[in-house]
Amino acid sequence: MRGRQAEAARNDRTILDAARAVFIADPKAPISAVAQEAGVGVGALYRRYTGKEELLRTLCEDGLRRFTAIAESALARHGEPWEAFATFLREVIDSDVHSLTVHLAGTFTPTPQMHDLAAHSGSLAARVVRHAKDAGALRPDVEAEDLTMIFDQITAIRAGDAGRTAELRHRYLTLLLDGLRAGAQVTALPASPPTGEELGRRWRQTESPRSPQPPPRR
């Protein structure tokens, strides 16, 4: 890309990066806070997005595409199965795409395209898990849905400073990886993994409770 096209792409990335920072810190923040973080006028932001709902959709769709790229890269690796699986988890954590799920799920209505992309990314993650299990590298009672909960736990770690946050996330991911690896002395998992319905439920917008109606006059 050259000229105006390249500049537009840079501006789009600047706005999405600003939206990520603003909405992860405060999902209820107004769209004007994104414009301020990006260093652009509110009018410039509205020329790209009709409002906060569309911006949130675009931000989370961008996160899904990043996750998909990481999973595809993991499946394309030819090497030691356990290291391929562990690298997949590390790259997802380092990309911080799952923070969008933790903070923004249920704050907007996903599009059918997003549902399709989520299903595709989920199938890729399931293949990563299956390859590690088939190779005897991953304990057999772990399912792809368990990874979602692991990502939730790790991305909840925030130490204020980005460098320290990354260090702590890697520390606790290392502990969790030891529990995921096959061959170690482990305790049987006490419950089934979350279902797809349970994981998808949090992406549904919650309706605001209706205001109580006054009693009828007599």
pLDDT given for residue 203 in this prediction: 77
Nearest to 34 by CA among 47, 23, 54, 19: 19
Q: What is the pLDDT of residue 184?
A: 67
- Alpha helices per DSSP H over 39-160: 42-48, 52-76, 81-95, 98-104, 112-134, 144-155
The H or E element containing residue 3 is: helix 3-25
Task: Give the residue, 29 or 202, on which the prediction is more confident.
Answer: 29
Q: Per-residue confidence at 216, pLDDT binned at 50, 70, 90?
A: very low
Break the chain into its structural domains and give their ranges.
7-49, 58-184
Neighbouring CB atoms inside 10 A of 42's CB total: 13
- Per-residue pLDDT tens digits for 20-43: 999 999 999 999 999 999 998 898
Q: Which residue has the tokens 């990335």?
A: 13
Instruction: State how far the Cα of 173 lies from the Cα of 166, in Å rounded to an integer.
Output: 10
Convert the pLDDT of each residue in 150-164 to its tens digit.
Answer: 999 999 898 878 899
Q: Could you give the CA distance from residue 89 to residue 137 in angstroms, rounded to a whole number?
A: 14
The model's confidence at residue 211, banded by pLDDT at 50, 70 and 90, is very low
Give residue 68's region: left, alpha or beta (phi > 0; psi -120 to 50).
alpha
Partners of 138 in the β-ladder: 181
Q: For residues 94 and 209, which has the higher predicted lDDT (pLDDT)?
A: 94
Structure confidence by residue, pLDDT tens digits, 69-124: 999 999 998 788 999 999 999 999 999 999 998 899 888 999 999 999 999 999 99
Q: Whole-model pTM?
A: 0.82
Handedness of CA 47, 50, 56, 62 (dihedral sign): negative
The architecture (CATH level 2) of 58-184 comes to Orthogonal Bundle (1.10)
